[in-house]
Amino acid sequence: MCVDGDFNEWIDQGLSDYEIAEGCIEHLNTPPTRKKYAKKAPKAPYGILQLKAQQRKYDEDGKLSYVLVVTTDQKKNRNFWGVGRGK
């Protein structure tokens, strides 16, 4: 997964690449707010994501992005495609 954004503020504060990537994953793991009359509490749309690897990447224009390798606790999710490894 590739995460684009303005990360200069966080880099200026002295956060490492790993800490910035963990913050992105934490944001994606946050479930949406509960609707007014909903019976169930909402779940995170991607399941519980865990960071496996991260890499800082600059595109041709010099814009910073992060390439993240993540795993989820859900075997099937409509937001992802493809077949994973393992049994």
Overall domain count for the chain: 1
- Least confident span in 5-9, 56-60, 80-84: 80-84
- Give the global pTM: 0.77
Residue 87 confidence class, pLDDT cut points 50, 70, 90: very low
Q: Is residue 15 part of a domain?
A: yes
Domain that holds residue 28: 2-72
Q: Which residues contact 42 (CB under 8 A, 6 or more apart)?
A: 31, 32, 33, 34, 35
**Other Cβ atoms closer than 10 A to 79:** 9
% residues pLDDT > 70 (the chain): 92
**d(C-alpha 31, C-alpha 38), whole Å:** 14
Residue 49 included in any domain: yes
